[in-house]
Structure 1
Amino acid sequence: MTRAVVADDSHFMRSVISDILDDGGIEVVAQARNGVEAVEAVREHRPDVVTMDVEMPEMNGIEAVAQIMDEVPTPILMLSAHTGENDDVTFQALDKGAVDFFTKPGGEVSMEMSRLEDQLVDIVSSVAEASVGPSHESTESPDSVESTAASSRTSERTAAEYVENPTLLIGSSTGGPKMVEQVMSELPLNAEFRVLIVQHMPEGFTGRFADRIDSRSDYDVKEGSDGDRIGAGEALVAPGDSHMVVSNYHAGRLRVKLTDDPPVNSVRPAVDMTMSSAAEVVDDPMVGVILTGMGEDGAAGIKSVKAVGGKTIAQDEETSAVFGMPKRAIETGYVDTVLPISGIPDGILDAIERDRQEVS
């Protein structure tokens, strides 16, 4: 049975979350009122997962995440109220090593939590399976050294080596934000991609996510809006709670529309919706990439991309926090290449090299 520590400064919220997890088959081995107690509980109980509030007295959630990841690396799910201030704080927690986050409901909390209980149990169970530890830290890991080497290789290529008008489609979920940021930070502008990114993330957080990618990438990145058009060197992030589909493509520019159609694979935005719609209308080279995440979203999209001659890549198990989405994509038989996160930027560029395209 999965074992959890629940950290929240509200007694009511600790009780509600603990009851939901217990009813969902997850054993709550300890509750903590602040970051100090959370660290102590993790030391004592060595749980499989921690749910961590952001704002707590004595030691906040970010500080607690950093200490836990330094001392006893443990998968952590942040529980964040959606406010402008908490958007930044939540991403800071991910930077410190938290795997994912879940938005606390507002308004009538008990009623809202009851409505979201299945989602909470699912994501806690998924985060509990995530791979965490020194090998996944962003600053001194061997993977970061390999990433630097890959980045130097990408910078050696010239624009003349690439096919014209390529489109890049990236899908990810649990553990994905840092992976997407890493890939985009190493993607050279001279490749001239049009990039569509689908990250399973609540409404309100995707704008901040797009801003973070934009600050780390040579590409012009923003949250998608209905009717947006993008060309070479531009990227859109699907907004939370909306599907982003490609509605038109002409002369190297693509147009998207946003829909509130029912969730696909229990999620909205869905990777499958974006990839499949792109495959229907884009007649220039495409690359589809599936990164870490739970569930099967993206598998059908990868098949669609491959069916029209696109190149397809999946993140490997070792560097995926959760190997659900990449695994399901690989199982379709339509993934061309499986790579560690450090090799994916170079793999993307390999897929649009003129010489390789001509050979294939």
Structure 2
Amino acid sequence: MKKKTLIALGASAGGTDALFDFFDNTLPDGVSYVITTHLYPHIKSLLTSMIQKHAAIEVCEVEEDTQIMPDKVYVMPENKIMTIEGERLVLKPRDLDIKVNRAIDIFFNSLADNHSFNIIAIILSGLGKDGTKGIVAISKNGGVIIAQEPSSAKEESMPEGVIDSGYADFILAPKKMPEQVIKSVKAFNDK
């Protein structure tokens, strides 16, 4: 039986437009998408409904202990950190005393040890280096890493952190990423 594929997207400042460009060009292809972002903890996020306007598949906000299904987009809610256990997404309250938001690294690190899915990790526009440690772990465990082309990002530091790490397999504008995702899924399936 072919292993399922999960596409993990990490985004922060300026990442909303990148997510729109990505999902404007994504078709139903049997994979699952999980979005981890830096959201304001005390404001209800509208990201799920905003992305739904650009996606050809269902977009839903993650709830506690969510089973991951194909052809769905899962969006982490505000004021949470998220990990994966098997084929389920697990939420925990975010510790607001920790000022630096590491939500992407936390989720990506949990993905690195996951054996239920082939992983494609994508880092989009954002400030800081969140996601870089997580992509290193995913790459070392056989995952594919895609970084946003910095010139197409509103905030370059997150994708540049991935590129500077030397672990980016592909550096692309968001609208070009879905085509590479399809190629990478085929490569996983051909192994």
**CA drift at 1:170:** 0.1
User: In proportion to residue count, which structure has more strand?
Assistant: 2
Partner of 1:197: 35
TM-score normalised by structure 2 residue count:
0.89
Q: What is the RMSD computed on CA atoms of the aligned residues?
A: 2.0
Partner of 1:175: 14
Residue 324 (structure 1) aligned with residue 162 (structure 2): no
Partner of 1:286: 119
User: In proportion to residue count, which structure has more helix?
Assistant: 1
Q: Which has the larger radius of gyration?
A: 1
Q: Quote the Cα distance in structure 2 between the aligned partners of 1:168 and 1:218.
A: 15
Residue 216 (structure 1) aligned with residue 50 (structure 2): no
Please say if residues 25 and 175 of structure 2, whose CA atoms lie closer than 8 Å, have aligned partners that are also in contact. Answer: no
Partner of 1:238: 76
**CA drift at 1:314:** 0.1
Cα deviation, 1:207-234, whole Å, max 9, x if unaligned, reads x211121232122111111111121111
AA of the residue aligned to 2:61: E
**CA drift at 1:282:** 3.4
Gaps of 5+ in 2: none
**CA drift at 1:240:** 1.3
Equivalent residues in 2 for 1:266-345 (5 A)? Answer: 266-267=100-101, 270-345=103-178
* SS of residue matched to 1:225: coil
Alignment: residue pair count: 188
TM-score normalised by structure 1 residue count:
0.49
Partner of 1:351: 184
Gaps of 5+ in 1: 1-162
Please say if residues 265 and 296 of structure 1, whose CA atoms lie closer than 8 Å, have aligned partners that are also in contact. Answer: no
* SS of residue matched to 1:246: strand
Please say if residues 210 and 223 of structure 1, whose CA atoms lie closer than 8 Å, have aligned partners that are also in contact. Answer: yes
Quick one: percent identity of the two aligned structures?
22
Q: Quote the Cα distance in structure 1 between the aligned partners of 2:162 and 2:99.
A: 13
